[in-house]
Amino acid sequence: MSEKTEDLFEASNTYRIANTNTYITLVEAISSKGRYFRIWKSEGLGGKWEPFSSAPMNAFASRDNVERPWSEGISHGEMVRTNADQTMTIDPCRPLEYLFQGNDPEVHVDDYIKLPYRLGVITAKGDNPVSALCR
């Protein structure tokens, strides 16, 4: 994958979709609207990574597609999984949940280190490209 720095910024996580050979990878991006996650898929870890969505931002989670966003953005996170091993497998037949760090856009500090981050969980509602992989 090759993109502008702000489009492939940091905090990448790769997951295997249960009962398939499909993998998804989430990568944090940054824009004028704050931080968000983009999503790609591949039929193998060494395969070609393709955008999961044809939408311009290829967004997995952003202020534009998350209900009641209390945070300036969606930053560094992890999918909630049903297993506790290192296979990083997610079940597309269950509602997707993502634990992330965010911060209140009304709080302004001069030092980045002092940003008041807190944890939040977002849950996918309705059909989405990942749930379409449910078998």
Confidence class of residue 68 from pLDDT cuts 50, 70 and 90?
low
Which residues, 6 or more positions from 27, have their beta carbon under 8 angstroms from its beta carbon?
1, 8, 9, 10, 11, 12, 37, 38, 40
| Structure confidence at residue 78 (pLDDT) | 93
Judged by average pLDDT, the poorest of 30-39, 41-50, 62-71, 84-93 is: 62-71
Average pLDDT over residues 25-47: 92
Pairwise CA distance, residues 120 & 40, whole Å? 23
| Structure confidence at residue 16 (pLDDT) | 95
- Cα distances (Å, whole numbers) of residue 62 to 66, 70, 108, 109, 122: 6, 12, 21, 23, 10
C-alpha dihedral, 133 to 57 to 70 to 72, nearest 10°: 140
**4: pLDDT strictly greater than 90:** no
Confidence class of residue 91 from pLDDT cuts 50, 70 and 90?
very high
Pairwise CA distance, residues 122 & 99, whole Å? 7
> For the chain, what is the mean pLDDT?
87
Which domains are seen in the chain, by residue range?
A: 5-133 (2.115.10.20)
Pairwise CA distance, residues 69 & 55, whole Å? 20
Q: Structure pTM?
A: 0.86
